[in-house]
Homo-oligomer: A and B are copies of this chain.
Amino acid sequence: MRIGVLKESAPRERRVALTPDAAARLIKQGSSVAVERGAGAGAHYPDAAYEAAGCTLVDSAEAESADLVVAVRRPTAERAARLREGAVLVALSAGDPGEALAALNGRRVTVLALERVPRITRAQSMDVLSSQATVAGYRAVILGAEALPRFLPMLTTAAGSITPAKALVLGAGVAGLQAIATARRLGAMVTGFDVRAAAAEQVESLGARFLAPEAVAGDAETKGGYAKELAEEQQQKVLEAVAGAIGQADLVIATAAIPNRPAPRLITTAMVESMKPGSVIVDVSAETGGNCELTRPGETVHHADVTILGPLDLPAGMPQHASQMFGRNVQTLLDHLAPKGALTVDLDDEITGAMCLAHEGTLRHRGNG
């Protein structure tokens, strides 16, 4: 199997879909890997490293012509049109505008959407959502600490005592838990908040306090471990709980999300105005609209002496390790798709089936793509 690695073209996207290390593992299994020149530069993987790993460095056209093309984000329509007929494309395909997919399908390209890896134990090592959320949770705290006009840890000094910062983490999924851990490492007093009952123990297992919204827990979790969208009345309780806690917080990391839905609104303008001067909100959910009413995706908003960050490129901001993890996920997935280098797309397979958006000219999973 010949694998092509594309250089990303989206703005601020510094990741690469396959690192030299991951590529080397695939080559060992019998594949050949063609890497577009400069693909890893943004993530600090120089071309030389790919060469050393046994890849061939190629121009973009050649990378596009591989049997299987991997990229972090789905390539532009222009590049997609250059894919080989019957090729397989593995990439994130979020926010699918329909058209691009249709075009690919027209060329009978098999499209495997990385964000659709099912969250079963066996597929954990292929799950880019988890790995990139880990980066996002860590990085959100670093960005928050940078934006804060104060220390996170407690400090008793000759120039007076610095009280520890209070951090509030909304949503205790993968990113939220990582944020909790990172903020605690830096010495903040951390409170975690989630609607899923199982989150309480997980938050406490990191040494943080859990804030339980009244009368919501229990039925807020789907079978897959995700949160459901809440009924009006429940949503009200959640808002009350957040409102009660946010006034004390110096740093808020908002990571609440519901799959395939806009992010739940948890922080209203009034709540922002009740916060202490100088406090900071990092809205990790900005991409899906943000947990905060005032969030503007990709921008930094100042409101009532509160700073609201809406970063869109959290994992891409830490491209070296984000790519390392992404690449490892992709490599494990390819090992699964093509054991010993021979590619077969088996739609009955639990993982492949769930990921596949287009195959042999047929679109799949339209309803919840």
Q: Which A residues lie at the B interface, using CB under 8 A?
A: 14, 43-46, 124-125, 127-128, 130-131, 134-135, 138, 142-143, 145-146, 148-151, 153, 155, 157-160, 162, 182, 185-187, 277-278, 305, 318-321, 324-326, 328-329
Q: Is the CB of B185 within 8 A of A151?
A: no
Other A-B contacts than A128-B159, A131-B157, A150-B318, 10 sampled, CB-CB below 8 A, are: A125-B159, A131-B158, A135-B151, A142-B142, A146-B146, A151-B321, A153-B185, A157-B325, A160-B324, A186-B186
Q: Is the CB of A324 within 8 A of B162?
A: yes
Provide the residues of chain B in CB contact with A324, threshold 8 Å.
159-160, 162
Measured in the bound complex, the distance between the Cα atoms of B320 and A324 in whole Å is: 37
Q: A283 CB to closest chain B CB, in angstroms?
A: 17
Q: Is the CB of B187 within 8 A of A149?
A: no
In chain B, what residue has the closest Cβ to A49? B277
Measured in the bound complex, the distance between the Cα atoms of B151 and A159 in whole Å is: 32
Provide the residues of chain B in CB contact with A142, threshold 8 Å.
142, 145-146
Subset of 17 A-B contacts with CB under 8 Å: A44-B277, A45-B277, A125-B158, A127-B158, A127-B159, A130-B158, A134-B157, A146-B146, A148-B318, A149-B321, A150-B318, A151-B321, A157-B325, A159-B329, A160-B324, A162-B321, A185-B187
In chain B, what residue has the closest Cβ to A128? B159
Measured in the bound complex, the distance between the Cα atoms of B38 and A223 in whole Å is: 54
Provide the residues of chain B in CB contact with A328, threshold 8 Å.
159-160
Provide the residues of chain B in CB contact with A44, threshold 8 Å.
149, 277-278, 305
Measured in the bound complex, the distance between the Cα atoms of B328 and A158 in whole Å is: 9
Measured in the bound complex, the distance between the Cα atoms of B362 and A200 in whole Å is: 68
Provide the residues of chain B in CB contact with A160, threshold 8 Å.
324-325, 328
Measured in the bound complex, the distance between the Cα atoms of B130 and A149 in whole Å is: 18
Measured in the bound complex, the distance between the Cα atoms of B194 and A219 in whole Å is: 58
In chain B, what residue has the closest Cβ to A326? B159
Known A-B contacts A143-B146, A146-B142, A159-B329; A278 and B125 likewise in contact (beta carbons under 8 Å)? no
Q: Which of A131, A135, A148, A160 has the most CB of B within 10 A?
A: A160
Provide the residues of chain B in CB contact with A134, threshold 8 Å.
155, 157, 159
Q: Is the CB of B138 within 8 A of A151?
A: yes
Measured in the bound complex, the distance between the Cα atoms of B305 and A214 in whole Å is: 51
Provide the residues of chain B in CB contact with A186, threshold 8 Å.
182, 185-186
Measured in the bound complex, the distance between the Cα atoms of B148 and A138 in whole Å is: 12
Measured in the bound complex, the distance between the Cα atoms of B278 and A45 in whole Å is: 9
Provide the residues of chain B in CB contact with A138, threshold 8 Å.
151
Provide the residues of chain B in CB contact with A150, threshold 8 Å.
318, 320-321
Measured in the bound complex, the distance between the Cα atoms of B278 and A320 in whole Å is: 8
Known A-B contacts A159-B125, A186-B186, A328-B159; A43 and B149 likewise in contact (beta carbons under 8 Å)? yes
Provide the residues of chain B in CB contact with A149, threshold 8 Å.
14, 43-44, 318-321
Known A-B contacts A131-B158, A146-B142, A158-B124; A46 and B325 likewise in contact (beta carbons under 8 Å)? no
Q: A252 CB to closest chain B CB, in angstroms?
A: 16
Measured in the bound complex, the distance between the Cα atoms of B278 and A324 in whole Å is: 13
In chain B, what residue has the closest Cβ to A320? B149
In chain B, what residue has the closest Cβ to A148? B318
Measured in the bound complex, the distance between the Cα atoms of B277 and A324 in whole Å is: 14
Provide the residues of chain B in CB contact with A127, threshold 8 Å.
158-159
Measured in the bound complex, the distance between the Cα atoms of B144 and A327 in whole Å is: 25
Provide the residues of chain B in CB contact with A326, threshold 8 Å.
159
Q: A231 CB to closest chain B CB, in angstroms?
A: 34
Measured in the bound complex, the distance between the Cα atoms of B130 and A308 in whole Å is: 31
